[in-house]
Structure 1
Amino acid sequence: MYRWPLQVAARSVARAAGSRTARAKVLDQEPFLGASAPLQRPGTSCLTQSRTLYTNTQLLSVKETPQQAQEEVGAFTRLFEAMGFPSPLKYNKWKMKIAALRMYTCCVERINYDEFFERCSLADTLNSWFLVTQLHVWMCLVRMRQEGREGRFLCHYIVHAMWGDVEQRSKIMGIDAFHRKETMKTMTENFYAAMLGYDEGILSDDRVLAAALWRNLFCCQCEEPQQLELLVEYVRKQMQFIDSLNGEDLLLTGEVQWRPLVEENAQSILKVVRPTYNDAGL
């Protein structure tokens, strides 16, 4: 077997090490391309381009304000929260519980269900009533989640009031206990699935929001595109309007006004009338 002399082997090793060092320096000087540049191996060509994330902030109907800094919490408060105890809130809990009940009442008593059933071709049933109600409850939850701890506290009691109302209505309609339990279970699953779909839709373009409405409100049975268009426009303008309401007033009074389903100038925002309240939360 032929063996290289020791000097030749040493020169080859030094030459290889020098080439690796030079290559490393070149790579360090090249700019970072990020996810937009697909990885390619030498001698091969990339036929498919990498998918880029598309966001359009002009379509967002929630508040486009910078994320608020997390409020400072003391060590004892963090300890209580870790142990599962309720944390102190800015406003009286009893007032906010009343405000949560009033906000849910606004979602039920200030909605023209007959107009929704007629224009959206929905059957006049308990399930259709619940689908329309949960859409407005979701819009309230989106708004109140912007108010920090107090808003999350209100969200809990809004949902609690909704399930109590659904159970009471099912009892009045004469649904027996077994079927009522099964119905409540199905509604609960559909409710949380709808919340996720609506959240994705309101932060995306109109096609995603229309798909969420088609799945949850119309139960995949809408054959008229005009109905979906009407509901997408309704949700967009409603979210724009409810975002203009004062957060403190919502936490203390729960008063929510809804814009009509059909109106001539849907782009305009009505002047908000601030509600009045007293120390008793009434």
Structure 2
Amino acid sequence: MFWSKPCSLALPRDSPMRVEEPDYQGIKRFFSQTLCCFYSKQSRSIRGANVVYQRIISQVDKPPIYEAFNLEKTFKTTYSLLILHMWLCLRRLKQEGNEGVEFGQYLYEIYNHDVELRVSKAGVNLLLAKWMKDLEKIFYGNIVAYDTALLPEAKPVDFSNVIWRNIFSDDGSSTPDAAASKSVHAMARYARREVSCMTLTDKEALYSGNFMFTSLKKGIRSGAESE
């Protein structure tokens, strides 16, 4: 798996997984528009960003991704995978110029609120602000590392090395053994393919959240072990 040709991640029009904007009519539409600004660009963007974030956590919080890449589900691995998928979305949004960057800011704010809740749920009540600041540094450090590893002048192995340091390695400095190396390279193929798939995903699907990351439920372990 992950060797197949990239394709759009947009959901078909008849997919039950699609989320459609409510089409209020008459007086209900009038009040929604005039009193609540329901159909304003900002309101639409916020709703769309919420759906996009639900797509991200659906991929990150469920067992298949941990089973596929032989990862233990810990706060560290979940947070690292969350950053990876945020990066996939933010990278694609940047291709839409200032409008995409603005949408990405709404997405980041939703992500940041979710991370704060996750940290609190993990039992961190004291020094929460310090934790959030440290996690913010990790977020931006990972984003820069992923972008740098995909620059034209980067070596083919650079992206796999970043995946290892950011997601698999406990200390960021050790090297993977043979078993771990297979999982690392499989995830690097997955992430590279998702980058291409996101580029092929149209603007409407992107802004409405009507896309799904590649399914990890079928044939994934054999794909991870076939390298």
| TM-score normalized by the length of structure 1 | 0.56
- Superposition deviation, residue 200 in structure 1: 1.4
What's the counterpart of residue 106 of structure 1?
55
Question: For residues 222-270 of structure 1, what are the alpha-carbon distances to aligned partners after superposition, in whole Å with 9 as ceiling and x for unaligned?
Answer: 432101110111011111211111113322x122311134758x9xxxx
- Superposition deviation, residue 114 in structure 1: 2.3
Specify the SS of the correspondent of 2:95.
helix
209, 212, 216: which one pairs with 2:166?
A: 216
Are residues 1:202 and 2:150 paired? yes
Decide whether the 8 Å contact of 1:113 with 1:129 is kept in 2.
no
- Superposition deviation, residue 191 in structure 1: 0.7
The range that moved more, 185-194 or 166-175, is 166-175
Decide whether the 8 Å contact of 2:60 with 2:78 is kept in 1.
no
* Count of aligned residue pairs for this structure pair: 175
Amino acid at match of 1:216: N
Percent identity of paired positions between Structure 1 and Structure 2: 22
Q: How does 1:228-243 map to 2 (within 5 A)?
A: 228-243=184-199
What's the counterpart of residue 126 of structure 1?
75
Decide whether the 8 Å contact of 1:104 with 1:161 is kept in 2.
yes
What's the counterpart of residue 244 of structure 1?
200
The range that moved more, 216-225 or 231-240, is 216-225
- Superposition deviation, residue 163 in structure 1: 1.0
- Superposition deviation, residue 161 in structure 1: 0.8
Decide whether the 8 Å contact of 2:93 with 2:103 is kept in 1.
yes
Q: How does 1:31-46 map to 2 (within 5 A)?
A: none
Are residues 1:152 and 2:107 paired? no
Query: Over aligned residue pairs, what C-alpha RMSD do you find?
Result: 2.4
d(CA) in 2 for partners of 1:124 and 1:148?
35
d(CA) in 1 for partners of 2:59 and 2:66?
15
Specify the SS of the correspondent of 2:71.
coil
135, 141, 152: which one pairs with 1:187?
A: 135
Specify the SS of the correspondent of 1:187.
helix
The range that moved more, 139-148 or 217-226, is 217-226
Question: For residues 82-129 of structure 1, what are the alpha-carbon distances to aligned partners after superposition, in whole Å with 9 as ceiling and x for unaligned?
Answer: xxxxxxxxx812101111121111100234642333444433222221
d(CA) in 1 for partners of 2:122 and 2:145?
29
d(CA) in 2 for partners of 1:105 and 1:205?
33
